[in-house]
Structure 1
Amino acid sequence: MAPKRGSPSSDARNRCVDAAEACTADEQCQQLRTEYVAQCLGRTASGGCPRTRCHRALRRFFAHGSPALTHALLFCPCFDPVCAERRRQTFVPACAFSWPGPAPPSCLESLDACEHSRVCRPRLLAFQASCAPAPSGPDGCPRDQAPRCLRAYAGLVGTAVTPNYVDNASARVEPWCNCGASGNRREECEAFRELFTRNQCLDGAIQAFDSGRPSVMQDHQNPRQDLGHGLLQASSTDGPLKECSLLSLLPALALQPLL
């Protein structure tokens, strides 16, 4: 009897390996991937991580690679810890994701860095708008929101708030930070973290991603065009960061280069 579609013994067995092989077979995807691997695994003379170059190479990967391939690497569905660990390690968290030191910094540091970054700030706004819940939606999220939400999430990889999977046993994601020392800004800090950790629309989009035939892989829109659409939405959206100045978006900001 043929295995059921979506079971661990069928085509979902290790989709992250399939995604990596598909990228390797595509000249542009492989070139961009080789670039970020070289930068993110490289080491400076002092032995540290060249984080700025690593982040820029990651942004180029998602900006210039086909979403059908780049998103397959980022969101490939997993049904076992080995696959999930491969997915978690794909974008070199030791350099691109985590900060030096044994403990994560305050999320307020990441948020403040994003606030002052012409690269990060519009992308975070686009993510907030694109993954925002809608009480009127059938599942609490706008209809057909998932592809837009995933593109906006991918746009954050390589910024001051680069997120990643938190373990190899789930599809939970979060930025490398906590709110343990946020003082009187605790509410703002938690609101930021919850954009990732308690976002039902983002969770649903990641968990529902099917690298065999998802709509996001059939949609080859220019990522810049989609990001601009998210920014237009962000200008009129009230979300968890309402009190944060990130929501005071200037129209000219969307016209600045995002790389």
Structure 2
Amino acid sequence: MASCLGPVLLLLLLLLGESAAGVNHCVDAAEECTADALCERLRTEYVVRCLGRAPRSCPRARCHRALRRFFARGPPALTHALLFCQCVGPACAERRRQTFVPACAFYGPGALPPSCLESLDACVQSRVCGPRLRAFQASCAPVPSAPEGCLLDQGPRCLRAYAGLVGTTVTPNYVDNASARVAPWCDCRASGNRREECEAFRGLFTRNKCLDGAIRNFDSKWPGILQVQLDPPRDPGLNLLQVSSGAQPLDGGSLLSILLVLALQFLL
């Protein structure tokens, strides 16, 4: 039973739009996704796919496909708000780091990360990953001739390309809950005479001022971006916070109970 508790709690964390720690941008983003029928359906799909039906199982291929669908078909204002919400404390940052079930989607089967060269080679040979990596390189590359080293309109394109890598061989994620640093799950310790190539690839994420700036600047733009998404009327019948057109919104305790039952049914 204890082995099932972790996935249940993670499912609740990802699907529940409220936080005991108070309001923050990541909670706001989760609530807005929950209130949008398409965003919530696609998010629930990848959570279910990535958790797996058995303890410690990881159907990584299915998980990655569901994640790619989420970022390809979901409303960009909402999917990007979930991925790039800004945090000022470790609790918020940990929630952000857990956005797409990294235990399956990000980390590999081994205790230690693989060589980045293995991930890079697999990506280049993949019809899914290769074009996305090239788009990321082109969209997030520094521009020496630009005043700040990055083009003024580069941020949105860079973030779209970064999100496109989630669900591929080189899926990146936040490396901890104390910063906004990102990287794929790999290192360059066993890169041999290709060390420079390995460091250059990893540096696309860890030493990229245009990517860092795009993530940092998203915080100042996302309330307006979300407002555009929220303007269209929503279908209340598809909102998790309501059970029927004539029912009152559920309180936090009732919603938590319902989600817990659903999670337990899924894991049994």
TM-score, normalized by the shorter chain, greater than 0.5: yes
Shift in Å at residue 47 of structure 1? 4.7
Name the CA shift for 1:43/1:219 in 2 (closer, same or farther; >3 Å): same
Which shows bigger deviation, 107-116 or 153-162? 107-116
- State whether structure 2 residue 99 is matched by structure 1 residue 86: no
Instruction: Tell me how large the CA RMSD over aligned residues is.
Output: 2.0
Alignment of 1:93-242 (within 5 A): 93-210=102-219, 213=222
In structure 2, the partner of 1:38 is 48
The letter of the residue matching 2:27 is V
Shift in Å at residue 216 of structure 1? 6.5
What TM-score, normalized by structure 1, do the two folds share?
0.76
How many residue pairs match? The answer is 208
Shift in Å at residue 214 of structure 1? 6.3
What TM-score, normalized by structure 2, do the two folds share?
0.74
- Structure number having the greater helix percentage: 2
In structure 2, the partner of 1:56 is 65
| Partner SS for 2:40 | helix
In structure 1, the partner of 2:237 is none
| Partner SS for 2:173 | strand
Shift in Å at residue 43 of structure 1? 3.8
- Structure 2, unaligned stretches of length 5 or more? 1-21, 230-268
| Partner SS for 2:218 | coil
Name the CA shift for 1:215/1:131 in 2 (closer, same or farther; >3 Å): farther
In structure 1, the partner of 2:252 is none
In structure 2, the partner of 1:65 is 74
| Partner SS for 2:165 | coil
| Partner SS for 1:49 | coil
Contact 1:62 1:154 in 2 (8 A): yes
Contact 1:75 1:209 in 2 (8 A): yes
Name the CA shift for 1:54/1:101 in 2 (closer, same or farther; >3 Å): same
**Higher gyration radius (CA):** 2
The letter of the residue matching 1:40 is C
For 1:16 and 1:213, locate their aligned partners in 2 and report how far apart those are by CA, in whole Å. 11
Contact 1:28 1:65 in 2 (8 A): yes
Which shows bigger deviation, 187-196 or 210-219? 210-219
In structure 2, the partner of 1:232 is none
Contact 2:51 2:57 in 1 (8 A): no
Shift in Å at residue 84 of structure 1? 0.4
Contact 2:97 2:177 in 1 (8 A): yes
In structure 1, the partner of 2:37 is 27
The letter of the residue matching 1:38 is V
The letter of the residue matching 1:183 is G
Name the CA shift for 1:196/1:208 in 2 (closer, same or farther; >3 Å): same
